[in-house]
């Protein structure tokens, strides 16, 4: 079995949190490429029903031709009305018991050299932070009504050790991590298991054109399922686990590593 380093937080209650990896209905945002697509494939191959969302209708159409067993749903998650519509459409087909908030955008920004329009900054925050919170709020009644369910929020190692070139991305992922921890405490005595996936530098369309050693999206997805299987609260595949350990010992050194990285 491959080795997937991950961190298991202490249990907040005595409930059994190990996840059954088959027979679930899984909704994955941003599932047309990258980590989202790899997660969709991994969940499907484990024997689950798959819903994926994407902003591009063309990408969804191509994906549905390749995976006719999946259900594709178009939605711009930066728009609250489309989140409400998305949940309504999903529920017409079947209530998911696994929600994966994966969709995200990342933009380089130098406030001294390239001041951006406020709307562009807000768009990144809406997709990376506001959308997962709104989607969870809409879906929580259905998740709570089931015997066992999972919320998996995909953050980033850059949310823990930020890099100067991606300030909004780092800030939004750090905020999503904090929100995930708070939500986990609130739902500790329910049947909803709240987990966080913290990918390292991953080979995805978001990172194309950037130098550096990347882990494959498939490795990240396999680590996610392995972590959920064993009840992990925080899953840090590969170098994300090493960076976390370094950051706990020397935040300054961890920051130097990230700034010097890809």
Question: Catalytic amino acids?
Answer: 169
What element of type H or E holds 70?
none
Distance CA 6, CA 224 (A): 9
CB 20 within 8 A of CB 48: no
Distance CA 20, CA 38 (A): 19
Distance CA 50, CA 35 (A): 15
Q: Which two tokens stand for residue 104?
A: 């995200």
Q: Which two tokens stand for residue 98?
A: 């696994």
Question: What values do phi and psi take at 154, rounded to 5?
Answer: -95, 115
What element of type H or E holds 122?
helix 118-125
CB 50 within 8 A of CB 93: no
Nearest to 51 by CA among 79, 82, 86: 86
Q: Which two tokens stand for residue 258?
A: 């990230």
| DSSP secondary structure letters along 103-145 | --------TTT-PPPHHHHHHHHIIIIIHHHHHHHHHHHHHHT
């Amino acid at each position: 079995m491959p080795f997937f380093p991950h961190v298991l937080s202490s249990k907040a209650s005595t409930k059994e949190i190990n996840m059954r990896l088959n027979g679930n209905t899984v909704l994955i945002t941003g599932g047309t490429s990258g980590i989202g697509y790899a997660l969709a494939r991994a969940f499907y191959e484990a024997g689950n029903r798959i819903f994926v969302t994407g902003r591009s209708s063309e990408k969804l159409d191509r994906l549905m031709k390749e995976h006719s067993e999946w259900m594709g749903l178009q939605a711009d998650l930066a728009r609250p009305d489309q989140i409400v519509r998305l949940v309504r459409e999903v529920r017409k087909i079947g209530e998911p018991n696994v929600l994966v908030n994966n969709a995200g955008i990342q933009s380089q920004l130098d406030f001294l050299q390239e001041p951006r329009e406020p709307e562009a900054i807000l768009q990144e925050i809406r997709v990376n932070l506001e959308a997962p919170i709104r989607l969870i709020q809409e879906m929580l009644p259905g998740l709570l009504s089931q015997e066992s369910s999972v919320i998996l929020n995909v953050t980033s190692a850059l949310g823990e050790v930020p890099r100067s070139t991606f300030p909004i991305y780092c800030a939004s992922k750090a905020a999503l991590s904090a929100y995930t921890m708070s939500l986990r405490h609130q739902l500790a005595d329910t049947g909803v298991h709240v987990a966080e996936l913290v990918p390292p530098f991953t080979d995805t369309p978001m990172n194309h054109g950037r130098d550096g050693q990347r882990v494959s999206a498939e490795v990240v997805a396999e680590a996610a399922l392995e972590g959920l299987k064993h009840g992990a609260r925080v899953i840090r595949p590969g170098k994300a686990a090493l960076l976390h350990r370094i950051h706990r010992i020397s935040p300054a050194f961890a920051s130097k590593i990230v700034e010097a990285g890809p």
